[in-house]
A = this chain, B = another copy of it.
Amino acid sequence: MPATPLTRAACAELDAADPLAGFRDEFALPEGVVYLDGNSLGALPKATPGRVAELIEKEWGHGLIGSWNDAGWWDKPRTLGAKLAPLVGAAPHEVVVGDGTSANLFKTLVAALRLNPDRRMVVGEAGNFSTDLYITQGVVELFEGAGQRLVDPDDTDGLEAALAPGDAAVVLLSHVDYRTGALRDMAAVTELAHRHGALVVWDLCHSVGALPIELSGCGADFAVGCTYKYLNAGPGAPAFTYAAERHHATARQPLTGWHGHARPFDFTGDYEPAQGADRFLSGSQPLIAAAALEASLELWGRADLKLVREKSLALTDLFIELTAPAGLELVTPREAGRRGSQVSLRHPDGYAMVQALIARGVIGDFRAPDVLRFGFTPLYLRHVDVHDAATALTEIVRTGEWRDPRFAERARVT
């Protein structure tokens, strides 16, 4: 672990030497805000409004229906997928953009169950984000004899025990735990699952854009992820699906819309899946939203993920060190290799503490029942921002500022 700089001046020196420092100016950040919620909704790239306006006014308004050909609209799920592929360690033709994470989980889980027809169990994680659990319930209900077995994926023995019966068709795990920030060993877990005859679906929502990912290198089967967190594509932006090339000819997903057809413009009566990852497509995609993703992927195409990961670990280390005096329980693994790009702290009054921080212009979030969650986005966060945020949290806890009744009032969406 590097020596942690504890003064603001030392932080400013690190910022001056930061090879990623130039990216900050490419984001439209509100004045006086330290934004530590980019793991939930990434900040707005300055290039995005212009790209979206171009699509709306030029491609749609002027080009009208012709833009399906002339502006490359029809191929956007593939061209955007190819641009996203390097961020997840995939070949360009293994990723398509479209639909939401929930729908893509549904498609990949059904495909995995069909590729492993003698097995009916989905091994999931008890603490996974709720939509992963719910979608799995929706899937297993459609297959006779199917079920969900929940484990703690950070307990390797427990995971192996869940696979030992030999009935697991597929393992669905989040690469980074949305609550704790724990990073799973993709290579080891994938190898373990394969050794026990199960396929693996990785949920990359909390890791894509936060660290280098090697789906192909790890032998992963399928993956899904969103683009509105670290990838900065805007609220509810289109999600993506990764399908390893070896499954392209045989994977069959159930949302068999016309965009996934081998020859969509033949308008044949019978569904025949396309010969690639695009068999995971269904229908038309919201292209105005896709234009925002296009703008942010252009930016990500210039970012070195190794530098992103190094800075992410430096920022999270710094925050952990600087907030230690506050005395909150650290939930996130202290070991760098087991940590994503967030720091989670635990306190029964965490909700009010997060509200008090927001009142000071430091935006983090809260996850029930007691987790204060802070995301670190190396493209637009500086070491001095982390210093200021940590100082604010420490002061809020020390002074009891969070006890003000106005900080107890719960918002509907947390």
Contacts and interface: CB of A to CB of B under 8 A. Distances in A.
A257 B129 CA distance: 11
Interface string A100-144: 111100100000000000000000001001110111011101101
A238 interface: yes
Contact of A412 (B69, B102, B144, B412): B69
Interface of A: 28, 30, 33, 35, 37, 40-41, 43-44, 48-49, 52-53, 56-57, 59-62, 64-69, 73-74, 99-103, 106, 126, 129-131, 133-135, 137-139, 141-142, 144, 150, 226, 228, 234-239, 254-259, 261, 264-271, 282-290, 292, 358, 363, 365, 367-368, 411-414
Given A52-B56, A69-B412, A286-B286, 15 more contacts: A28-B61, A41-B60, A43-B61, A44-B57, A64-B363, A65-B363, A101-B284, A103-B255, A103-B257, A130-B269, A131-B258, A137-B271, A235-B286, A235-B287, A237-B288
Contact of A257 (B100, B261, B266, B358): B100
23 contacts: A28-B61, A33-B64, A41-B64, A44-B57, A49-B56, A52-B56, A52-B288, A56-B292, A60-B234, A66-B358, A67-B235, A73-B235, A99-B103, A102-B258, A106-B255, A130-B269, A131-B257, A131-B283, A133-B271, A135-B256, A142-B142, A236-B288, A239-B283
Nearest to A43: B64
A43 B238 CA distance: 23
A99 B287 CA distance: 13
A56 B48 contact: yes
Given A52-B52, A257-B103, A269-B126, A284 B60 contact: no
Contacts of A137: 256, 270-271
A270 to B, nearest CB: 7
A359 B139 CA distance: 50
A329 B33 CA distance: 65
A43 B60 CA distance: 8
A265 B99 contact: no
A171 to B, nearest CB: 17
Nearest to A178: B267
Contact of A135 (B131, B134, B255, B288): B255
**What number of copies of this chain does the assembly contain?**
2
Contacts of A135: 255-257, 282
Given A138-B255, A268-B130, A56 B44 contact: yes
B271 A138 contact: yes
A67 B141 CA distance: 35
Nearest to A257: B102
Nearest to A265: B414
B282 A102 contact: yes
B271 A365 contact: no
A292 B234 CA distance: 14
Contacts of A66: 358, 363
A105 to B, nearest CB: 8
A40 B73 CA distance: 14
A97 to B, nearest CB: 11
Nearest to A59: B235
Contact of A284 (B48, B59, B228): B228
A263 to B, nearest CB: 10
Given A28-B61, A61-B44, A284 B235 contact: yes
B284 A286 contact: no
A271 to B, nearest CB: 4
Contacts of A100: 99, 257, 282-285
